Amino acid sequence: MENVKNNALELIATYGFDVVAAIVILVLGLMVAGWVRRLVTRICTNSARVDNTLGPFFAALVYYAIVAFVFIAVLARFGIQTTGLIAVFGAAGLAIGLALQGTLSNIAAGVMLLLFRPFKVGDFVEVAGIAGTVKSITLFVTELATGDNVQILAPNGQVWGSCVRNFSHHSTRRIDCLIGISYDDDIDHAFASATGVVESDSRVLQDPAPMIAVSELGDSSVNLTVRAWCDAGDYWPLRFDLNKSLKERFDADKISIPYPQRDVHIVGGNLVSAAANTD
């Protein structure tokens, strides 16, 4: 019994300080890790440039990094060689990274999308050959809804690595309507009719001013381009209405919109040549 007591006292004398120091390091380390996690979360929440999805991610990343250092420091207090342990962790991390390189690349791309914000939720964009309204941006995928309300989940790696066309970024957009008139029609008369259509719609902005010009002398028609600026939210309704109104006004003003034509030349009852005009 006396030997057991002596051995216990010897162990306490030898390792007691290390145990107490390890407990103190562990408690303080966890407290610091928790405090830093809350700090990072608060900073990300209050920052206008950091998406809400990134706050918990960064906070958890910092938290577990501090906990890992605390764990290594606790083991070092007991004389355990941590160099080999760090090497094992590094090798394991490398193996996991190689196995999940596709997933990790999507996470990295998701972080870049959330940091730099080339688009935001609600924007209508075209990315990776897909056009739709952005519904959500996560660390792995970007969710889009097409015009006919089909859900598209695009990996962030493909989204970040492709060109982005953001149709909602600017508050105004330009509409280009192409319409052809006959070579026999008066161009100035057609200009006046098109101008009346554009000026009669209140959705057309006056700055920049609308423009009507002859854009091409086609094979069977004189092609006019009608350009008008509008608020981005009015783009499609105004585009459809302008096409309808231009057709109706030209019909009312007796301005013809020619059909595709084909000229056939017959000499002596034999077909010599045929030329198709498809404008």
Residue 278: per-residue pLDDT:
47
For the chain, where do the domains classified as CATH 2.30.30.60 start and end?
A: 119-166
Three-class SS of the chain? CHHHHHHHHHHHHHHHHHHHHHHHHHHHHHHHHHHHHHHHHHHHHHCCCCCCCHHHHHHHHHHHHHHHHHHHHHHHHCCCCHHHHHHHHHHHHHHHHHHCHHHHHHHHHHHHHHHHCCCCCCCEEEECCEEEEEEEECCCEEEEECCCCCEEEEEHHHHHCCCEEECCCCCEEEEEEEEEECCCCCHHHHHHHHHHHHHCCCCCCCCCCCEEEEEEECCCCEEEEEEEEEEHHHHHHHHHHHHHHHHHHHHHCCCCCCCCEEEEEEECCEEEEEEEECC
Quick check: pTM over 0.75?
Answer: no
Residue 224 burial (10 A CB sphere; 0-12, 13-18, 19+)? buried
Question: Average pLDDT over the chain, rounded to whole?
Answer: 81
For the chain, where do the domains classified as CATH 1.10.287.1260 start and end?
A: 2-99
Most confident of 7-21, 102-116, 181-195: 181-195
57-86 per-position pLDDT tens digit: 677 778 888 888 888 787 777 666 666 666
Beta bridge partners of 95: none
Beta bridge partners of 263: 275
The CATH number, out of the four listed (3.30.70.100, 3.20.20.80, 3.30.365.10, 3.90.1300.10), of the domain defined by the range 172-252: 3.30.70.100
Residue 157: per-residue pLDDT:
87
2-99, CATH topology level: Helix Hairpins (1.10.287)
| Residue 97 binned pLDDT confidence (cut-offs 50, 70, 90) | low
For the chain, where do the domains classified as CATH 3.30.70.100 start and end?
A: 172-252
The CATH number, out of the four listed (2.30.30.60, 1.10.287.4070, 1.10.490.10, 2.40.30.60), of the domain defined by the range 119-166: 2.30.30.60
